[in-house]
Amino acid sequence: MTRRARAIGLYALVAYGVTWAVWLPYVLAAREGRELPSPYLYYLASFGPLAGAMVAEAYERGTPGIQDLLNRLLDPTREPRWILVGLFSPLVLPLVAALVLFSAGQGWPEWSEVGITSRAPGMGPFATWLLMILSFGIGEEVGWRGFLLPRLQHGRSALAATARLTLIWAGWHTPAFLFREGYVGLGISGITGFLLGLAAGAVVLTALYNASNGSVLAVALWHGSWNWVATSDGLQGPWVAVMTAVVMLAAPVLIGRWGARDLAPRPRTIIPPLSDPSAAQWFAVIG
């Protein structure tokens, strides 16, 4: 087993371990019929992938690897147009869903409740958005796209790497099906829909990551902003269903437009093998 393969295994072990440890009190409370712990404890679980990325980077590449990962997260000048896409494209989805459903006679969503969620009681829209960016955005994406994706893309197409990432990402969510509202009691069709939606989101995030030359900030903003609109009390039911459908439609469009190999408008950027003498440069562009 190569050092890189061991690093991926270490990443998964820490990411799963931290997240599942945080979620364990929720699982036990649900099983015993007790009230679930504070909803804010739930968000700490999202930092499992970040913890896994830091530990695995320290193991595989040491300080330069951690510095590189943080640079890709904190540098707003890295492909700024794609960072803006990451920030604003999810925020357009409620407008698309509202127009589609209004034209179908559904009416308008409760705009005053957009950005407010019962999963973060007492918080206003902007504070909730920051919470989503820090947890689901940075907490998850430093791991999934910042650390794991570029390694899975080494030696295989972007689409094949995304399929593998989706399986690991889906497994990470497993305990949530034992306690989280909306997940508990899902049948085969519901779980299938969840997996398809997760796979489509993974394709969109891979495309954004590769198009932005490896910007973790771009994918963190997209992921956090998506969760901000998708969990809004005013956008539940048909509105979130239409938004999800738009993401699911976007995935095959991106594959068709940019191709399964790179999922980007130009050859993607990957981390080189650890044994590569140019590894100190941290990145190599494949042609």
Contact 249, 204 (CB under 8 A): no
Of all residues in the chain, what percent carry a pLDDT higher than 90?
Answer: 68
pLDDT of 278 over the 50 cut: no
**Per-residue pLDDT, 279:** 42
**Per-residue pLDDT, 282:** 39
Q: pLDDT tens for residues 26-54?
A: 999 998 888 888 888 999 999 999 999 99
- Model confidence at 251, in pLDDT bands (50, 70, 90)? very high
**Per-residue pLDDT, 180:** 85
- Model confidence at 3, in pLDDT bands (50, 70, 90)? confident
Distance CA 53, CA 47 (A): 10
Distance CA 197, CA 69 (A): 27
Q: pLDDT tens for residues 129-160?
A: 999 999 999 999 999 999 999 999 988 999 99
Query: 45-49, 228-232, 276-280: lowest mean pLDDT where?
Result: 276-280
Q: Per-residue pLDDT averaged across 117-135, rounded?
A: 94
207 or 275, which is more confident? 207
| Closest C-alpha among 135, 167, 145, 101 to residue 231 | 135
Is the alpha carbon torsion for 264, 7, 201, 132 positive or negative? negative
**Per-residue pLDDT, 287:** 28
**Per-residue pLDDT, 286:** 32
193 or 252, which is more confident? 252
**Per-residue pLDDT, 184:** 82
**Per-residue pLDDT, 218:** 96
Angstrom distances, CA of residue 190 to CA of 185, 187, 202, 253, 263: 9, 5, 18, 24, 28
- Model confidence at 250, in pLDDT bands (50, 70, 90)? very high
